[in-house]
C-alpha cells in the first residue's frame, strides 16, 4: 500500500517535471498497454500530430506505451482522478459496467459484421452511455480488432488438449469463466507482464489477436498459434469527460474532428496489417494449428451464459436475435 502511494507520488512528480518546458494551454497524456509497434499507439501518435497542428499548439498530447505509466485498470482510475487523460480500453470496463461484457464475450460474435451491428445498435449505444455516466469516459469512435487466438508451446486442437494449461487472460471475468470451463487454468494478469511471464514459465499460454501477438513479440516465446478465434472484439479510444469539458467550444470541435480522423487512420493501418500479419508470424517460426472450434464453443457456452446476471442474459438473447 505505501509502496503504491510512493509510486503514485513519484509518478505525479515525474509527469509534472517532464513537461515544464513551455506549458501548452492543454497538456494531455495517454497511457497504452501496447508498445509503439501496435496500430493503437501509432494512431495516437498521428492524433498528437494533427491535434498540435490544428489547435496551433494549444493542445499537446503525450503518449506512453507498454503500460510504462499505468496498467490498463490503473490507467482508467488515473483518468478518473485526472492524473492522466486518455487510454484505449474496452472489456476490462466490465469490472465497472455489466454490459461491457459483450464487447469481448467468448464465442458471441462471428465476424466484423456482427461486431458493427452490435456497436451501432442499442447495446453499443448503451455501452457508450454507461461508460460516460458510470466511469466518466467519453468514447471517441472504436478500434476493430482481429479475432483472439490461443498461443502456447504445444498444439491445442481440442479442449481436451488444454488440461491444466496455465493461460494468461486479461482481467475480464468472462475470460476466466470460459477458460476454466474449457479445462485450462486461467490467470488474470496485466498485459505488460505477459512476455516475461511466458519467458519464465509462470504462465504457459496467452490469447490475443494476431496484431498484438506480432507487436508484442510473443513469437519469441510461443511456438504454436492455435487458431481458436474465440473472441471477436474491439476497443474504444477514450478521454476523461471532466478533461474534455475543460476545452472551450472551438477546441472541443477540433479535438473531436482529429479523433474522427485518428479512427479512420487506425482502421487503415489495421486493414494493412491484417493482410500481412499471418505470414509474418509464420516467418517468425510460429506453427499455425487448426482447432475444433465447435468443441471449444460447446464446452464453455453454458458456463458463460450462467455467469451472466438475469438482465444480462436478456441482453445476450437480444444480441443473438439481431
The residues of the shown chain that bind ligand 2Q2, judged by CB under 6 A, are 33, 72, 89-92, 170, 172, 191, 208, 212, 235
How many C-beta atoms lie closer than 10 Å to residue 292's C-beta? Answer: 15
* CB-count burial class (<10 Å; 0-12, 13-18, 19+) for 6: exposed
Least CB distance to ligand 2Q2 at residue 89 (A): 4
Least CB distance to ligand 2Q2 at residue 41 (A): 13
Residue 47 or 191 having the CB closest to ligand 2Q2:
191
Grouping H, G, I as helix, E, B as strand and the rest as coil, residue 187 is strand
Residue 48 or 206 having the CB closest to ligand 2Q2:
206
Q: Please state the φ and ψ torsions of residue 32, each to the nearest 5 degrees.
A: -125, 140
Strands 26-31 and 59-64: parallel
Contact status, residue 182 vs residue 143, Cβ threshold 8 Å: no
Least CB distance to ligand 2Q2 at residue 232 (A): 12
Least CB distance to ligand 2Q2 at residue 93 (A): 6
Sign of the torsion formed by the C-alpha atoms of 11, 13, 14 and 19: positive
d(CA 85, CA 30): 6
Least CB distance to ligand 2Q2 at residue 180 (A): 17
Least CB distance to ligand 2Q2 at residue 171 (A): 7
Residue 60 or 115 having the CB closest to ligand 2Q2:
115
Residue 19 or 180 having the CB closest to ligand 2Q2:
180
Least CB distance to ligand 2Q2 at residue 20 (A): 32
**Which cell numbers hold the place of 319?**
444480441
Residue 48 or 233 having the CB closest to ligand 2Q2:
233
Task: Give me the residue whose beta carbon is nearest to ligand 2Q2.
Answer: 92
Spatial CA neighbour of 86 closest among 47, 134, 43, 28: 28
Contact status, residue 35 vs residue 67, Cβ threshold 8 Å: no
**Which cell numbers hold the place of 57?**
499548439
Residue 35 or 208 having the CB closest to ligand 2Q2:
208
Residue 33 or 262 having the CB closest to ligand 2Q2:
33
Which ranges in the chain belong to alpha helices (H)? 2-18, 39-54, 72-80, 112-120, 122-135, 173-181, 194-200, 210-215, 241-245, 249-283, 293-307, 310-321
d(CA 21, CA 19): 6
Residue 55 or 219 having the CB closest to ligand 2Q2:
219
Least CB distance to ligand 2Q2 at residue 246 (A): 25
Least CB distance to ligand 2Q2 at residue 212 (A): 6
E strand or H helix that includes residue 234? strand 234-240
List, in order, residues 6 or more apart from 82 with CB less than 8 Å away: 240, 242, 243
Residue 92 or 109 having the CB closest to ligand 2Q2:
92
Amino acid at each position: 500500500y505505501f509502496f503504491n502511494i510512493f509510486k503514485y507520488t513519484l509518478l505525479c512528480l515525474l509527469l509534472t517535471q517532464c513537461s515544464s518546458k513551455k506549458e501548452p494551454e492543454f497538456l494531455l497524456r495517454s497511457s497504452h498497454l501496447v508498445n509503439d509497434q501496435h496500430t493503437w499507439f501509432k494512431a495516437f501518435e498521428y492524433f498528437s500530430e494533427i491535434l498540435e497542428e490544428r489547435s496551433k499548439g494549444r493542445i499537446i498530447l503525450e503518449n506512453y506505451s507498454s503500460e510504462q505509466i499505468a496498467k490498463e485498470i490503473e490507467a482508467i482510475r488515473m483518468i478518473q482522478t485526472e492524473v492522466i487523460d486518455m487510454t484505449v480500453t474496452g472489456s476490462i470496463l466490465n469490472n465497472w459496467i455489466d454490459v461491457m461484457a459483450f464487447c469481448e464475450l467468448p464465442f458471441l460474435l462471428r465476424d466484423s459484421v456482427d461486431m458493427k451491428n452490435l456497436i451501432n445498435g442499442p447495446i453499443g449505444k448503451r455501452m457508450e452511455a454507461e461508460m460516460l455516466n458510470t466511469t466518466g469516459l467519453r468514447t471517441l469512435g472504436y478500434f476493430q480488432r482481429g479475432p483472439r487466438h490461443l498461443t502456447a508451446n504445444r498444439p491445442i486442437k481440442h479442449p481436451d488438449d488444454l488440461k491444466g494449461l496455465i493461460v494468461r487472460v486479461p482481467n475480464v471475468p468472462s475470460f476466466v469463466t470460459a477458460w476454466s470451463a474449457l479445462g485450462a487454468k486461467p490467470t488474470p494478469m496485466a498485459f505488460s507482464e505477459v512476455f516475461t511471464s511466458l519467458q519464465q514459465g509462470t504462465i504457459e499460454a496467452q490469447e490475443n489477436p494476431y496484431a498484438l501477438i506480432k507487436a508484442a513479440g510473443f513469437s519469441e516465446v510461443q511456438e504454436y498459434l492455435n487458431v481458436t478465434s474465440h473472441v471477436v472484439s474491439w476497443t474504444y479510444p477514450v478521454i476523461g469527460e471532466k478533461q474534455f469539458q475543460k476545452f472551450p467550444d472551438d477546441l472541443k470541435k477540433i479535438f473531436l474532428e482529429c479523433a474522427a480522423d485518428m479512427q479512420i487512420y487506425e482502421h487503415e493501418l489495421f486493414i494493412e496489417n491484417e493482410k500481412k500479419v499471418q505470414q509474418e508470424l509464420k516467418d517468425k517460426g510460429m506453427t499455425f494449428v487448426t482447432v475444433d472450434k465447435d468443441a471449444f464453443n460447446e464446452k464453455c457456452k453454458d458456463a458463460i451464459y450462467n455467469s451472466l446476471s438475469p438482465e444480462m442474459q436478456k441482453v445476450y438473447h437480444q444480441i443473438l436475435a439481431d
